[in-house]
Amino acid sequence: MLTVYGVYRSRATRPIWLLGEIGMEWRHVPVIQTRRLASAGAGEAPLHTTSPDFAALNPMCEIPCIEDDGMVLTESLAITWYIARRYGGTFGPQTQKEEAQMAQWMLLAGTTIEPPALTILGASDDAARDKGTAQLAKPFAWLDRHLADHRWLVADRFTVADVMLAECVRYAQGHPPALAPYPHLADWLARCQARPAWQAMWARRNAEPA
């Protein structure tokens, strides 16, 4: 059985959301980020990213991480892509053209959208939020144009590309000016977050200690 190591308050939301969409069984091993613990070395500390057992599994000491049929895989984009291609059916690519299109949107999410969106999420002042918003203007405008004519990113069906990109756009969602100029993008994000699998994942995330 596929095992996911991590907590919901991490990038583990990406593969966990997709697993919910697929409806397959999986095993969850909670692993918390060491930086969130007051005393990681205490005997009663929970399993965390620098615990020896976890570090032996993933030397990068990051979450999420999965095990599947003896294979260990790290990096949330690679994990989510693997699950989609192996288990996802129509959530994954059905043709080479779809594979290329999904890869395009997922790589845009991880390389171009996530960094400034995280800047917005973690900003403590307006200048930082404004900087992140400005950096998102070009990719968000592109997405808005695309979504004006498409309900979903690829082949007009919900896929792994929507999962990956929605979870990166979410980081900027708390700053209304970042999405306000892009109504088609905002509507698409609302559709993604209305899906039962996202709602279930988000409820479990909110149930975890902050």
Do the bridges between strand 65-68 and strand 3-5 make them parallel or antiparallel, or are there none, so unpaired? Answer: antiparallel
The dihedrals phi and psi of 61, each to the nearest 5 degrees, come to 55, 45
**Number of C-beta neighbours around residue 127 at 10 A:** 9
**Sequence ranges of the chain with CATH classification 1.20.1050.10:** 92-195
One-letter amino acid at 55 equals: A
pLDDT digit string, tens, across residues 81-99: 999 999 999 999 999 999 9
Whether the per-residue pLDDT at 41 is higher than 70: the answer is no
* Confidence tier at 38 by pLDDT (50, 70, 90): confident
* Confidence tier at 66 by pLDDT (50, 70, 90): very high
**What pLDDT does 210 receive?**
84
Its pTM stands at 0.96
DSSP secondary structure code for residue 153 in this structure: S
Query: What's the CATH class of domain 92-195?
Result: mainly alpha
Residue with tokens 């959208």: 113
**Sequence ranges of the chain with CATH classification 3.40.30.10:** 3-90
28 by DSSP, 3-state: which?
strand
Contact 20, 158 (CB under 8 A): no
Ramachandran category for residue 70: left, alpha or beta (phi over 0 → left; psi -120 to 50 → alpha): left
Pick the CATH number of 3-90 from 3.40.30.10, 3.40.50.11260, 3.10.450.50, 3.30.420.40: 3.40.30.10
**What pLDDT does 44 receive?**
67
Closest CA to 132 of 95, 78, 177: 177
pLDDT digit string, tens, across residues 180-197: 999 999 999 999 999 999
Contact 18, 80 (CB under 8 A): yes
* Pair of tokens at residue 21: 């969409």
Residue with tokens 């279930």: 200
**What pLDDT does 131 receive?**
97
- Give all strands (DSSP E) within the chain, no chain letters: 3-5, 27-29, 65-68, 71-74
Query: Where does residue 33 rank: exposed (0-12), middle (13-18), buried (19+ CB within 10 A)?
Result: middle
Average pLDDT over the chain reads: 96
C-alpha span between 90 and 204 (Å, rounded): 25
* Pair of tokens at residue 151: 């309900």
